[in-house]
């Protein structure tokens, strides 16, 4: 379903940097309904790789494919539509809007692109996800009245709203206690793979790797970050 080939990305060099950062990523392939963990030290390029897979960034070289779609060759507008309709994103820092309720934060993707209408079906989906993630009683609250773990569950529900075919999560359990980490990860993987999604999670926590079908390790001998 998702594959990369010869993927490279070079950040522009700033005025105070002696050398630019270039990500040189090994090829990967993730099938529908399977899960992949991306691990590696801080600064190795985990978040950059996720951004390339989502079509937020365009590679310097190589390509990202999703099925028959060459994502890296799409226009800006086409990549925005691709993300809304195909990709679910879960961010480490949540990116919730304080002036919206939990429910409206979950429904936020419907307000970002006309291809995803805000209708009764989506509202039912949002309520169902909130219930399944244990935050059903909190849908009228603003994010600032939630615990850290509850805010992360809102972010997960938002990422799953459109039943994405590809779910990308960047350190989704980074600041939770060990029990909370595994519980949330198991819920995220179960909800996504039940809908047939491929799931890719960047994490620094090697204790969670047994939950995944595949592991992509930037520290492996055949990895290269220049």
26-50, pLDDT tens digit by residue? Answer: 999 999 999 999 998 888 889 999 9
108-165, pLDDT tens digit by residue? Answer: 999 988 889 999 999 999 999 999 999 999 999 999 999 989 999 999 999 999 999 9
Q: Which contiguous run of DSSP H or E holds residue 194?
A: helix 178-194
Please tell me the total number of residues recorded for the chain in this structure: 226
User: Hey, how many other C-beta atoms are within 10 angstroms of the C-beta on 128?
Assistant: 13
CA distance 105 to 108: 5
Q: Structural domain boundaries of the chain?
A: 2-225
The pTM assigned to this predicted structure is 0.91
CATH 2.60.40.1120 fits 2-225, yes or no: no
């Amino acid at each position: 379903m998702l594959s990369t080939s010869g993927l490279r990305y070079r950040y522009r060099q700033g005025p105070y940097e002696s050398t630019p950062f270039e990500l040189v990523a090994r090829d990967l392939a993730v099938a529908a309904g399977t899960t992949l963990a991306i691990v590696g030290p801080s600064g190795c390029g985990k978040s950059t790789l996720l951004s390339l897979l989502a079509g937020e960034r365009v590679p310097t070289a190589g390509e990202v494919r999703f099925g028959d779609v060459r994502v890296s060759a799409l226009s800006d507008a086409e990549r925005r539509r691709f993300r809304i309709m195909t990709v679910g994103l879960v961010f480490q820092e949540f990116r919730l809007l304080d002036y919206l309720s939990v429910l409206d934060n979950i429904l936020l993707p419907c307000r970002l692109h006309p291809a995803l209408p805000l209708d009764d079906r989506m509202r039912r989906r949002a309520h169902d996800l909130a219930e399944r993630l244990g935050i059903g009683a909190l849908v009228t609250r603003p994010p600032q009245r939630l615990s850290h773990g509850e805010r992360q569950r809102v972010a997960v529900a938002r990422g799953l709203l459109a039943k994405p075919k590809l779910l990308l999560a960047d350190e989704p359990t980074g600041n939770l206690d060990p029990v909370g980490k595994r519980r949330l990860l198991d819920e995220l993987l179960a909800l996504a793979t039940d809908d047939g999604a491929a799931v890719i999670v960047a994490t620094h926590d090697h204790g969670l790797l047994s939950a995944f079908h595949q592991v992509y390790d930037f520290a492996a001998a055949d990895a290269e970050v220049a």
